[in-house]
């Protein structure tokens, strides 16, 4: 591939939803964007049900192919990489592919989540294997990706990591799953994931690598809608966040000299974006 002087971003889970919007926002803000997903071409996307009740997978739009075309239309280089968050070899291979192709990762956005049937089941219905695999995908394999990328950041003198965390990690569900609440397998895995940014900052901030926890808010994505249950959550008073808002937040965190004041805190996307829109 041809060389470029633009900063390089790696965004996971970018065939649709929040990840796609983040990838496009970064491309529009002057980044070349490598991005991962499981779905190669349009029409192949499938998402498992939220609960382990035997329902079939649902079709969802989006693909590596489509996101690549959208990024390139914005004048940025695009590098699509197939990655399955539940497959450790593919996670490590994704980082290796980007580093070998472009030689750097200046910004890593950990957006992808492990979707498994039943990872929002109620306590006594929860399959422990599902809980373990959810923890593996949402925490351990995210850690593996950070481990694969941070050494290259250190060699270049710095970099930024943005982890898309979840309010479910720190807030008790207002109701049982299916009635406006969320499952413990998912929320526990996101709670573990939420500790990674602090570990990065404790060990590598003095060498120029910084990490943020960004809570996107309650975003109803194509995948979330297909899995069901989002209307019950909305009925509990959770106001939806526009899907494009986390992308604006990521661009600001990656480029603003003022972003450092959010280190060690959970960045609440709706509040940050509202402040960006406020009159000076």
Q: Is residue 1 part of a domain?
A: no
Q: How confident is the model at residue 223 (pLDDT cuts 50, 70, 90)?
A: confident
Residues of the domain holding 129: 8-277
61-90: pLDDT as tens digits: 999 999 999 999 999 999 999 999 999 999
> What does the CA dihedral 78, 79, 80, 85 come to, rounded to 10 degrees?
-120
* End-to-end Cα distance, the chain: 42
Q: For residue 124, what are its two tokens? A: 């006594």
Active site residue 51: no
Q: How many domains does the chain have?
A: 1
Catalytic hit among 186, 193, 252, 262: 186
Q: How confident is the model at residue 220 (pLDDT cuts 50, 70, 90)?
A: confident
- Give the predicted TM-score (pTM) of the model: 0.94
237-273: pLDDT as tens digits: 677 789 999 999 999 999 999 999 999 999 999 999 9
CATH classification at residue 189: 3.40.50.720
Q: Is residue 210 part of a domain?
A: yes
- DSSP 8-state assignment for residue 267: E
Q: Is residue 44 part of a domain?
A: yes
Q: Is residue 3 part of a domain?
A: no
């Amino acid at each position: 591939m041809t060389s470029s002087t633009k900063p390089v971003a790696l965004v996971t889970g970018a065939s649709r939803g929040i990840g796609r919007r983040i990838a496009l926002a970064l491309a529009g803000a002057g980044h070349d964007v490598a991005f991962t997903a499981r779905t190669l071409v349009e029409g192949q996307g499938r998402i498992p049900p939220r609960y382990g009740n035997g329902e079939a997978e649902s079709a969802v739009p989006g693909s590596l192919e489509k996101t690549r075309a959208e990024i390139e239309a914005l004048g940025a280089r695009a590098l699509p990489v197939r990655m399955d968050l539940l497959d450790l070899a593919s996670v490590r291979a994704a980082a290796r592919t980007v580093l070998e192709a472009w030689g750097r990762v200046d910004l890593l956005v950990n957006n992808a989540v492990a979707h498994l049937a039943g990872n929002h089941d109620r306590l006594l219905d929860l399959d422990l294997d599902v809980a373990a695999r959810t923890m593996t995908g949402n925490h351990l394999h995210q850690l593996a990706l950070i481990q694969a990328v941070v050494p290259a950041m250190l060699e270049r003198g710095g970099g930024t990591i943005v982890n898309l965390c979840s309010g479910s990690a720190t807030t008790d569900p207002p109701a049982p799953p299916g009635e406006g609440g969320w499952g413990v397998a998912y929320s526990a895995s996101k709670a573990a994931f939420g500790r990674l940014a602090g570990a990065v900052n404790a060990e590598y901030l003095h060498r120029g690598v910084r990490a943020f926890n960004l809570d996107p808010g309650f975003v109803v994505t194509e995948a979330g809608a297909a899995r069901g249950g989002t209307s019950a959550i909305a009925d509990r008073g959770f106001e939806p966040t526009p899907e494009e808002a986390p992308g604006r937040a990521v661009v600001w965190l990656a480029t603003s000299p003022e972003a450092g004041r959010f280190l060690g805190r959970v960045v609440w996307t709706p509040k940050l974006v509202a402040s960006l829109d406020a009159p000076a």
